Chain A
Amino acid sequence: MFKLNLKIAWRNLWKNKFYASINITGLAIGLTAFVLLLLYVNYEESYDTWSPELKNVYQVREFHSYSAPDNKQYWQTSNESRIAALLNQNIPQITAVTKVENDWYQNYALTVKDRKSVMIKGIRNADSAFFKVMPYSFLKGNEATALSKPNSIVLKKDLALKLFGTEDIIGKTISIVRWEGDDITDFTVTGIVTEPNTPQSVSFSGIIHTGEFDKHNQNPTMHKYVEIYARLLRNADLNQLNANVQKVYINNLKTTFTNSQSSYADYLKSGNVPNCKLLPIDEAHQNPPFVAGWIKKIKPVSLIVTFLLLISIINFINLATAQSFQRAKEVGVKKVLGSSKGLLVRQFLMETGLQSLFALLICGVLIELFLPAFNQQLGLNISFWSNHKLFFILLQLFGLFLIITLLAGFYPAKVLSNYKPATVLKGTFSNSNKGLVLRNSLIVLQFVISVTLIIAIGAMQTQVNFMNQKDLGFDKSRVINISANYDEKIANDIRKVSGVQYVGATTQVIGNAFAYADKINFQGKKLNLNMVTVTMEAFPALGIKPLQGRLFSPLYKQDTVNTVVLNESAAKQLGGVVVGKQFRSYENVFQIIGVIKDYHAESFDKSIIPTIYKVTYLGGMSANGNLLVRFNSSHYQAIIGKIEGVWKKYYPNYPMNYQSLNDAFIHSLEDNSRFMNMIVIFSVISVSLSLSGLFALSTFVAKRRTKEVAVRKVLGASNMQIVNLLNKSFLHLVIAANLISWPIAYILIKKWLDGFAYRIDMPVLPFIIATITSLIIAVLTVSIQARKAAIANPVKALKYE
Chain B
Amino acid sequence: MIELKNIEKYYSSKGIKHYVLRHVTTTIKQGEFVSIMGPSGAGKSTLLNILGMLEEPTYGTYEFMEEDVTRLNERKRIELYRNHIGFVFQAYHLIDEMTVYENIEAPLLYKKVGGAERASRIADLLDRFNMVAKKDLFPNQLSGGQQQLVGIARALAAQPSIILADEPTGNLQSAQAEEIMQLFQKLNKEDGITIIQVTHSEKNAQYGSRILNIADGVVKDDITLTAV
A-side residues, CB < 8 A to B, are 1, 4, 7-8, 11-12, 15, 329-330, 332-341, 343, 420-422, 425-427
With contact pairs A4-B98, A336-B87, A340-B75 given, residues A425 and B107 touching in the complex (Cβ less than 8 Å): no
Contact residues in B for A425 (Cβ distance below 8 Å): 54, 89, 91, 93
B75 to chain A, nearest CB (A): 7
B9 to chain A, nearest CB (A): 12
Contact residues in A for B81 (Cβ distance below 8 Å): 335-338
Which has the most chain A C-beta neighbours within 10 Å: B49, B83, B95, B105?
B95
- Give the CA-CA distance A420 to B83 in the complex, in Å: 20
Contact residues in B for A8 (Cβ distance below 8 Å): 95, 97-98
- A336 near B54 (CB under 8 angstroms)? yes
B24 interface residue per 8 A CB criterion: no
Contact residues in A for B98 (Cβ distance below 8 Å): 4, 7-8
In the complex, 11 of the A-B residue pairs with CB atoms within 8 angstroms, ordered by the A residue number, are: A1-B110, A4-B102, A7-B102, A12-B97, A330-B96, A330-B97, A338-B82, A338-B83, A341-B74, A343-B110, A421-B54
B4 interface residue per 8 A CB criterion: no
B221 interface residue per 8 A CB criterion: no
- Give the CA-CA distance A341 to B49 in the complex, in Å: 19
- A337 near B110 (CB under 8 angstroms)? yes
The chain B residue sitting closest to A424, CB to CB, is B93
Contact residues in A for B111 (Cβ distance below 8 Å): 338
Contact residues in B for A421 (Cβ distance below 8 Å): 54
Q: Interface 1/0s, chain B 182-217, versus A by CB < 8 A?
A: 000000000000000000000000000000000000
Total interface residues in chain B, CB < 8 Å: 32
- B106 near A337 (CB under 8 angstroms)? yes
- Give the CA-CA distance A7 to B95 in the complex, in Å: 12
With contact pairs A12-B97, A333-B95, A422-B49 given, residues A338 and B74 touching in the complex (Cβ less than 8 Å): no
- Give the CA-CA distance A425 to B75 in the complex, in Å: 21
- A339 near B110 (CB under 8 angstroms)? yes
Contact residues in B for A426 (Cβ distance below 8 Å): 45
Q: Interface 1/0s, chain B 31-70, versus A by CB < 8 A?
A: 0000000000000010001001011000000000000000
B109 interface residue per 8 A CB criterion: yes
Contact residues in A for B154 (Cβ distance below 8 Å): 337
The chain B residue sitting closest to A426, CB to CB, is B45
- Give the CA-CA distance A490 to B62 in the complex, in Å: 109
B219 interface residue per 8 A CB criterion: no
- A330 near B110 (CB under 8 angstroms)? no
- B106 near A340 (CB under 8 angstroms)? no
Interface of A is mostly: helix
Which has the most chain B C-beta neighbours within 10 Å: A12, A341, A420, A422?
A422
Give which listed residue, B85, B90, B106, B107, contacts A427 with CB less than 8 A: B90
Give which listed residue, A1, A11, A335, A422, contacts B55 with CB less than 8 A: A422
Contact residues in A for B126 (Cβ distance below 8 Å): none
B78 interface residue per 8 A CB criterion: yes
Contact residues in A for B52 (Cβ distance below 8 Å): 336
- B158 near A338 (CB under 8 angstroms)? yes
A277 to chain B, nearest CB (A): 63
- Give the CA-CA distance A15 to B95 in the complex, in Å: 14
Contact residues in B for A7 (Cβ distance below 8 Å): 97-98, 102
Which has the most chain B C-beta neighbours within 10 Å: A338, A341, A425?
A338
Contact residues in A for B93 (Cβ distance below 8 Å): 329, 332-333, 425
The chain A residue sitting closest to B138, CB to CB, is A11
Sorted from nearest, which 10 A-B pairs have the closest CB atoms? A338-B82, A422-B54, A338-B81, A338-B110, A11-B97, A337-B107, A8-B97, A427-B91, A336-B87, A1-B109
- B78 near A340 (CB under 8 angstroms)? yes
The chain B residue sitting closest to A330, CB to CB, is B95
Which has the most chain B C-beta neighbours within 10 Å: A1, A12, A15, A427?
A427
- Give the CA-CA distance A420 to B79 in the complex, in Å: 17
- Give the CA-CA distance A341 to B158 in the complex, in Å: 19
- Give the CA-CA distance A343 to B112 in the complex, in Å: 13
The chain A residue sitting closest to B106, CB to CB, is A337
Contact residues in A for B85 (Cβ distance below 8 Å): 336
- B97 near A338 (CB under 8 angstroms)? no
Q: Which of B94-123 contact A (CB under 8 A)?
A: 94-98, 102, 105-107, 109-111
The chain A residue sitting closest to B90, CB to CB, is A427
A340 to chain B, nearest CB (A): 5
Contact residues in A for B74 (Cβ distance below 8 Å): 340-341
Contact residues in B for A329 (Cβ distance below 8 Å): 93, 95-96
Which has the most chain B C-beta neighbours within 10 Å: A1, A334, A337, A341?
A337
